[in-house]
């Protein structure tokens, strides 16, 4: 088991772009079978022994602007850079690399606004043709934005000496307007990073259309808060969909499941996956669809606590999500309560699919 160091300072308070970058990189914990140490207090945490860690991840967002002025942060980055250990940085994270003098003579990319700083720092700027662009040069791996997470993680796994097997799978995501942002994007990008072919579909929409999403967060109120999320681009058309072409189904939560559960074509699709015993992974409110499809009878599963009524009336044995990141597998069904459970959720789906990462 390796150790991975992540520079992260309260990313969820820095906006959804930084938070999404943090969430997808946090999932590396179980994809790579490493321990992620989240540094919430840089002044304190830089005292940790550098020798314990095999890699460094620097998310973007607003944090790099001020972390680039923190000498303890820069000293940490220099140690990784000088040692040749892998460093993965995305978006504005490259500001820290520039401040640490770790990009001189190296090819790198970033969010376009970071270009002048990287050039002044002596980097060979690589223009991102799309916001998915990633570049690897030596031990430094850089990405333009969160859209490039799949390739960024693939390059990072390779740099750490990892090998992915069993990923020749086709996965289908069942999407809808105002599904939860993290609950679709994080599993989708994680499975892409593993090398799976992943498609996202939505009733009455076609490939290239988008679904608006919602960010549900836990901020101390009686229920979760709700904010606008990213627009999520669909990769395949719903009409004419052949479920037999896919090895597994993923159902994100959020607002979408409550009305998708009323769509007879959705119900038929879910029944086909469940009756064929293909892996089905559903999180948060996604289990509303499973209950409506009548496929929970005799099953053991969890969900967001407010969905317990649907699950129990649907004939399932309720498994308490305590803590909220707890996920369960029963036969071909993986269920989770909310996005904090993504590491377990994705890891358990990987197990059903026979996907492994070894070092």
Task: Supply the pLDDT for residue 37.
Answer: 40
Q: Which of 8, 149, 285, 342 is catalytic?
A: 285
pLDDT tens string 150-181: 999 999 999 999 999 999 999 999 999 999 99
To which H or E segment does residue 118 belong? helix 115-120
Question: CA–CA separation, 282 vs 270, rounded Å?
Answer: 11
Task: Supply the pLDDT for residue 20.
Answer: 52
Identify whether 285 is a catalytic site residue.
yes
Give the SS3 label for residue 141: strand
Q: Which of 92, 216, 230, 342 is catalytic?
A: 92
List the alpha helices (DSSP H) in 139-254.
Answer: 149-159, 181-193
- Cβ atoms 315, 296 nearer than 8 A: yes
Give the SS3 label for residue 301: strand
Question: CA–CA separation, 243 vs 269, rounded Å?
Answer: 7
66 contacts: CB under 8 Å, gap ≥ 6: none
pLDDT tens string 220-240: 988 889 999 999 999 999 999
164 contacts: CB under 8 Å, gap ≥ 6: 157, 194, 195, 355, 356, 357
- Cβ atoms 46, 72 nearer than 8 A: yes
Identify whether 301 is a catalytic site residue.
no
pTM: 0.89
Task: Supply the pLDDT for residue 147.
Answer: 95
CA-nearest of 1, 305, 346 to 149 is: 346
Q: Which of 8, 76, 91, 175 is catalytic?
A: 91
Both tokens assigned to 201: 């579909």
Give the residues across from 357 on adjacent strands: 164
One digit per residue, the tens of pLDDT, for the chain of length 359 reads 455 555 543 333 334 444 555 455 555 544 444 444 444 444 455 555 567 788 899 999 999 999 999 998 999 899 999 999 999 999 999 999 999 999 999 999 999 999 999 999 999 999 999 999 999 999 999 999 999 999 999 999 999 999 999 999 999 999 999 999 999 999 999 999 999 999 999 999 999 999 999 999 888 988 889 999 999 999 999 999 999 999 999 999 999 999 999 999 999 999 999 999 999 999 999 999 999 999 999 999 999 999 999 999 999 999 999 999 999 999 999 999 999 999 999 999 999 999 998 88
Identify whether 149 is a catalytic site residue.
no
**Structural domains of the chain, with CATH:** 2-161 (3.40.50.880), 165-358 (3.40.50.880)
Identify whether 342 is a catalytic site residue.
no
């Amino acid at each position: 088991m390796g150790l991975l160091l992540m520079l992260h300072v309260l990313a969820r308070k820095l906006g959804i772009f930084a938070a999404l970058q943090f969430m997808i990189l946090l999932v590396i914990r179980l994809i790579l079978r490493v321990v992620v140490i989240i540094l919430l207090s840089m002044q304190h945490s830089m005292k940790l022994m550098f020798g314990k860690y095999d890699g460094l991840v620097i998310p973007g967002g607003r944090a790099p602007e001020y972390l680039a002025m923190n000498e303890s942060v820069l000293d940490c980055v220099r140690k990784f850079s000088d040692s040749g250990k892998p460093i993965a940085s995305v978006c504005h994270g490259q500001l820290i690399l520039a401040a640490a003098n770790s990009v001189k003579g190296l090819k790198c990319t970033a969010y376009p606004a970071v270009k002048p700083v990287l050039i002044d720092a002596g980097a060979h700027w690589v223009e991102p043709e799309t916001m998915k662009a990633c570049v690897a040069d030596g031990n430094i791996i850089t990405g333009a934005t969160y859209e490039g997470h799949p390739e960024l993680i693939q390059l990072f796994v390779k740099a750490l000496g990892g090998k992915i097997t069993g990923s020749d799978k086709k996965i289908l995501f069942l999407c809808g307007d105002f599904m939860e942002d993290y609950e679709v994007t994080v599993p989708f990008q994680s499975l892409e990073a593993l090398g799976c072919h992943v498609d996202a579909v939505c009733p009455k929409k076609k490939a290239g259309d988008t679904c608006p999403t919602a960010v549900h967060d836990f901020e101390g109120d009686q229920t979760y808060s709700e904010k606008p999320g990213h627009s999520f681009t669909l990769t395949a058309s719903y009409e004419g969909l052949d479920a037999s072409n896919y090895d597994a189904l993923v159902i994100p939560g959020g607002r979408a499941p409550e009305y998708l559960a009323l769509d007879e074509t959705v119900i038929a699709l879910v029944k086909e996956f469940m009756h064929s015993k293909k892996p089905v992974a559903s999180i948060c409110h996604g289990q509303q669809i499973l209950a409506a499809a009548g496929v929970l009878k005799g099953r053991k599963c969890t969900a967001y606590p407010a969905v317990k009524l649907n699950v129990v009336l649907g004939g399932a044995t309720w498994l308490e999500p305590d803590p909220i990141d707890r996920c369960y597998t029963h036969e071909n069904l993986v269920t989770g309560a909310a996005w904090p459970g993504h590491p377990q959720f994705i890891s358990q789906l990987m197990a059903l699919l026979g996907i492994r990462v070894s070092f």
